[in-house]
Amino acid sequence: MMNKKLRKSVDVRVAFSSRLKHLVDSSLRRSANEQLFPATDNSSEAINSAWGKRLFKKIARYGYRFVKPVLRPIAFRAKRYFLQDLQQETLPALMEVITKQQEALMQMLNARLKLLEQNCHAAAYKAVTPCDSKEDCDSSMKAEVIIVGAGGHAKVCVELLRAMGERVAFSVGAIDNIEECLDVPVLQGDDNLAKLRAQGYSKLFVAIGSNQLRDRLATLGLSLGYKLVNAISPYAVISPTAKLGVGIAIMAGAVINAEVCIGDFAIINTGATIDHDCSIGQAVHLAPQCALAGNVVVGDYSFLGIGSKVIPKITIAENVNVGAGGVVVSNLNAGALVKGVPAKSK
């Protein structure tokens, strides 16, 4: 009779929820663990069985929509018991593992810091002049680069090498050069190249603006057994299909596109652009802001002044000089000296 009245009553959901909540709360109070987790004795199994049968009988009779408000506090209690177990057993073990990992990491960092400090102290007390014998040289110095030149172009190349992660040991300059170039000791006289090579230095970069002199000194370095390195700015854009020689300087903002071939000892100066399929000869100098269209050929030792332009499929022979701002619209013979728009001989 009571069930019929409840089903007919407007407050049937509230009445049933209150009754079922009282049933759940009383069961949880009697044996919370047995209600939420698998039981091990017969009494708890009986409680679980009776409680479960009564609960699911109500669900089957009135539908899940009446029971949903009641199941929420059950889930909340289960979450609370789970968190208590996690806090009491799992978290301490996890914190112990994390603590051990932190200690191991700190030991490794301390060892690295000690090694770095030792290297810094060793670098601070290195001599600023070459060693007298190969045995007296510090082995850590052998990976450093020797740069030829101590002028303005050499300063730019020193910064390029440093940006690449290289260290510059000495600068070999002329007799009348300064004593330092961007904190790099300057050794006066080309004869120092042979001495430094005998002491174990193997990397060389020639930072000379003159094309012919740069080629001669680079050839001298190769004959002494040096390996010529490139000085390439990290801010240059170079196609993966481009082919680069050795001893090349590529400044910031330069763009070298697909299938470009650049010869040994060339200088691609700040902001110069070389389009697809161009061929740049040995010891060529493209001044800042030069722009070469596609399929241009530039011969050995040629110089293109600042801001000069070359239209597509032009051939510039050896030892050609193009004045600043010149626009080359026709092929140029060897040794030509041109300027203007369009570029013409003087």
Spatial contact of 326 and 339, defined as CB atoms under 8 Å apart: yes
Question: Out of 121, 153, 276, 285, which one is annotated catalytic?
Answer: 276
Mean pLDDT of the 33-57 span: 49
Q: Identify the CATH number of the domain defined by range 232-346.
A: 2.160.10.10
pLDDT at 285 over 80: yes
276 is catalytic: yes
Name residue 301's amino acid. Y
Query: According to CATH, where is 3.40.50.20 located in the chain?
Result: 139-228
Residues pairing with 71 in the sheet: none
Query: According to CATH, where is 2.160.10.10 located in the chain?
Result: 232-346
In this prediction, residue 50 has a pLDDT band, given cuts at 50, 70 and 90, of low
Alpha helices (H) along the chain = 2-8, 12-30, 32-36, 42-62, 64-85, 91-124, 152-163, 192-198, 211-223
In this prediction, residue 205 has a pLDDT band, given cuts at 50, 70 and 90, of very high
Q: Round to whole Å and give the CA distance between 193 and 171.
A: 10
Mean pLDDT of the 278-287 span: 96
Which of the following CATH numbers is that of domain 139-228: 3.40.50.410, 3.90.1520.10, 3.40.50.300, 3.40.50.20? 3.40.50.20
